[in-house]
Amino acid sequence: MSNPLSDMEEPDVIFCIGTNMTECHPVAATRLHQARRRGATLIVADPRRITLAKRADIYLPLKVGTDVALLLGMAHVIAREGLVDSAFIESRTLEADAFLEHIKAFTPEWAEGICEVPAVDIERAALAYARGRRGAVYYTLGITEHICGVDNVQSLCNLVLMTGHIGRAGTGINPMRGQNNIQGAGDAGGLPNNYPGFQSVEKPEFQKKFSALYGRQIDGECGITKVRALEYAVDGKMNAMLICGENTLVSDPDRKHCEKALRALDHLVVVDIFLTETAELADVVLPASAWGETDGVYANTERRVQRVRAAVPPQGQAKPEWWIMSQLAKRLGVSGFEYESAADVFNELCEVSPIYKGLNWERAGAASYHWPVPYDGHPGTPRLHEETFPSKTGRGTFKRIEYREPAEVVDDEYPVWLTTGRRLQHYHTRTMTARAGMQYFVPEETLEVHPKDVEAWGLTDGGKVRMASRRGAVELTVEATDRSPRGTVFGSFGFGDTAVDDLTGAGYDPVTETAELKVCVVRLQPAVPYSEPVA
């Protein structure tokens, strides 16, 4: 997020797109509610009539996968109405002229033809966002889990740059991270392109630094993404894998492909707190201490670095992961793993990462700071981009984006759109929530289908449906609800036994290799009782 969570109480116009915030980041939604109480306008773009949509002043029910068209249409209106922030464009951006020329073709009427949002509502949303003094954009995976995820984000950046809604309280472009420490996994160097602290593996100065620190020559080029690594495994080019705290088999798209990849490995080591579906495929399973049993540090979606603490001892022989990794490293003949506590590890991370340089275990325990914290005594950086952008020129560059269709589009064979997400009471693959009483709310996965579609497709509310895509099929229970629009159905990816993710994964963003989990095409038919089990 460019801005801190506390800033969510400050905007006078809020634009939420591809975020089911009341279910996925419920507490963030309570902060937006404070802005709403003070009269802020809420614009919500989402294919489903989610709770946030019901609370919206302007609701834009776009067709799945058409965000770019909607955002181009909005940009067109803002430029046409002369609502661009010329001073901001002049002092902080590049390539504005080409961009403003580019969007002339994309009228709201053109956008309506693609995203199916009435042109008049696109106009209203664009005017409201541009006219606000403090406009803030919030998005999550509804923007990024597409083959055009990067295009979607760039399109939002364009809106922000043309209106100057950034670098001030109550503004900004704010992706909400989905997991408790997914930010920290990147911060700590769990990336193929960056050392800890986002220091590029391709830069000679960092190569030199980390080769010296870690005691050996490290490749000067980026590694591969997990998506690619799983492909390599299927092709026999990847032989051993260590998976730490991820139920890859259920959370990743295209389960059959994923299972094939994991089974093809000669050596699979899984570190987890439960024997997940993924761990069941492993050669070696290492029991990790869980949240509540482990001392450590998390970084949240606003880059706030916070201490987590053990309140109870680990179950059985479970151990903290830093201990497990250190023991493994020693056996692999690597030095520099003589840690005696999580504090030792965190202090080293701070030492080698400029954005954490001003932090240490003690300081992180005494208060919470937003990184970058470049030196001891620095107050942290709750708000980014106040003066400059992190580019060579310090300016933000407009991108000329074109709309592209999703990897799959509906046809006669697969006439229905499927989109996926989370539910409030469950989390990811439910390894935790299913063991914490949350079954009370959602005992089984259901497929949300519009009531008229239920009727038109010969289904019954509460009855079983067989849903098939080009990659697989699942059987699940129908829930008739007008949350989902006609022609589009919704399922969550959390239930291992009816894994909706068996079906998804038709394409990947070419830049980030993020899977298009939010769109695929399916066909539905009533599941016949006593039919053969679904393969």
Partner 1 sequence: MSVTSVTSELPTLELDGDHVPFSLGETIYEVAQRHACEIPTLCYDERLDPLGGCRLCVVEVEGFRSPVASCTTKAVAGMKVRTSTDAVEKHRRTLLELVVSENPKARIDPLRGAASQELTVLRNRYDVDGSRFEGKTSGSTRHDDKNPFIARDYDQCISCYRCVRVCAEREGDYAISVMNRGFDTQITTEFNGLLDDSDCTYCGQCVQTCPTGALGDAKAMRAQDDPAPLKATRSVCSYCGVGCGVDLLSKGDKLVGIRPARDGGANAGALCVKGQFAFDFVQHSDRLTEPLVRKDGELRPVSWDEVLDRAAAGFAKAAKDHGRHSVYAVASGRAPHESTYTLQKQIRGAFGTNYIDNCSRA
CB nearer to partner 1: give 313 or 390: 313
Instruction: Classify residue 432 by burial, with Cβ atoms within 10 Å: 0-12, 13-18, 19+.
Output: middle
Site map (CB under 8 A) of partner 1, residues 303-322, x = contact = -x-xxxxxxxx-xxxxxxxx
Considering the rule CB under 8 A, would residue 222 count as an interface residue with partner 1? yes
Q: Is 234 one of the binding residues for partner 1 (CB under 8 A)?
A: no
Instruction: Work out which of 49, 92, 102, 177 binds partner 1, going by CB under 8 A.
Output: 177
- Minimum distance from CB of 485 to partner 1 (Å)? 22
Which among 85-93, 117-125, 207-215, 407-415 is the span making contact with partner 1, rule CB under 8 A? Answer: 207-215
List of residues 6+ apart from 97 with CB closer than 8 A: none
Distance CA 220, CA 461 (A): 56
How many residues are recorded in the chain?
535
The nearer residue to partner 1, 275 or 409, going by C-beta atoms, is 275
Residue whose CB is less far from partner 1, 8 or 78: 8
Compute how many other C-beta atoms are within 10 angstroms of the C-beta atom of residue 107: 18
Residues binding partner 1: what is the number (CB under 8 A)?
A: 151
**Minimum gap (Å) between residue 278 Cβ and partner 1:** 10
Distances (CA, A) of 15 to 43, 60, 82, 371: 5, 11, 20, 25
| In the complex, least distance from residue 229 CB atom to partner 1, rounded to whole angstroms | 4
Q: Binding to partner 1 by residue 176, rule CB under 8 A?
A: yes
- Restricting to residues 280-299, name those near partner 1 by CB under 8 A: 280, 282-288, 290-299
Q: Rounded to whole angstroms, how far apart are CA atoms 414 and 401?
A: 28
Binding test (CB under 8 A) with partner 1, winner from 37, 82, 105, 377: 37
* Closer CB to partner 1, 129 or 339, in the complex: 339
Question: Which residue has tokens 């664009």?
Answer: 126
Q: Which amino acid is at 81?
A: E
Which tokens is 369 given?
A: 């700071």
Q: Is 189 in the site for partner 1 (CB under 8 A)?
A: yes
Partners of 479 in the β-ladder? 448
Looking at the Cβ atoms of 35 and 130, the one nearer to partner 1 is 35
- Region binding partner 1 by CB under 8 A among candidate stretches 117-125, 405-413, 452-460, 514-522: 514-522
Burial of 80 (0-12, 13-18, 19+ CB in 10 A): middle
Q: Which is nearer to partner 1, 217 or 530 (CB)?
A: 217
- Residue from the set 249, 349, 503, 524 that interacts with partner 1 by CB under 8 A: 349
Nearest approach in angstroms of CB 38 to partner 1 is: 12
CB of 67 within 8 A of CB of 152? yes
CB of 486 to partner 1, least distance (A): 25
Question: 239-258 mask for partner 1 (x: CB under 8 A)?
Answer: xxxxxxxx-x--xxx-----
Which ranges in 1-148 belong to alpha helices (H)? 21-24, 26-37, 51-54, 67-80, 86-92, 96-102, 108-115, 119-131, 141-144
Of the candidate residues 231, 348, 461, 475, the single one contacting partner 1 (CB under 8 A):
348
Token pair listed for 1:
């997020």
Shortest reach from residue 163's CB to partner 1, in Å: 26
Q: Which of 116, 461, 475, 513 binds partner 1 (CB under 8 A)?
A: 513
Amino acid at 325: M
Site for partner 1 in 428-457 (CB under 8 A): 431-433, 435-438, 440-441
Q: Is 332 in the site for partner 1 (CB under 8 A)?
A: yes
Shortest CB 366 distance to partner 1, Å: 11
For residue 227, state whether it binds partner 1 (rule: CB under 8 A).
yes
Of 61-69, 155-163, 172-180, 409-417, the segment contacting partner 1 by CB under 8 A is 172-180
Binding to partner 1 (CB under 8 A) within 357-396 occurs at: 368
Q: What is the footprint of partner 1 within residues 78-107 (CB under 8 A)?
A: none
Nearest distance from residue 280's CB to partner 1, in Å? 8
Among 101, 221, 235, 497, binds partner 1 (CB under 8 A): 221
List the one residue from 26, 379, 394, 458 that touches partner 1 (CB under 8 A).
26
Instruction: Pick between residue 118 and residue 365 the one whose CB is nearest to partner 1.
Output: 365
The dihedrals phi and psi of 197, each to the nearest 5 degrees, come to 70, 25
Task: Judge whether 158 and 398 are in contact, CB under 8 Å.
Answer: yes
Residues 107-126 that bind partner 1 (CB under 8 A): none
Please state the closest distance from residue 375 (CB atom) to partner 1, in A: 19
Instruction: Name every residue whose Cβ is closer than 8 Å to that of residue 61 and which is 6 or more positions away in sequence.
Output: 46, 47, 49, 53, 116, 117, 485
C-alpha distances out from residue 187 to 174, 181, 198, 333, 490, Å: 18, 9, 6, 26, 33
Binding region for partner 1 (CB under 8 A) out of 150-158, 263-271, 450-458, 468-476: 263-271
**Half-sphere CA count of 375, side-chain side, radius 13 A:** 0
Q: Which of 301, 469, 488, 492 binds partner 1 (CB under 8 A)?
A: 301
* Residue that the structure tokens 């403003």 belong to: 100
Token output for 9? 């109480």
Report in angstroms the alpha-carbon separations of 515 from 127, 141, 510: 33, 10, 10
Question: Is 39 an interacting residue with respect to partner 1 (CB under 8 A)?
Answer: no
* Single-letter residue type at 444: E
Is residue 31 at the binding interface for partner 1, with CB under 8 A as the rule? Answer: yes
Rounded CA separation 106/99 (Å): 12
Comparison of 31 and 464: residue with beta carbon closer to partner 1: 31
| CA-to-CA dists, residue 347 to 231, 341, 358, 365, angstroms | 36, 10, 10, 12
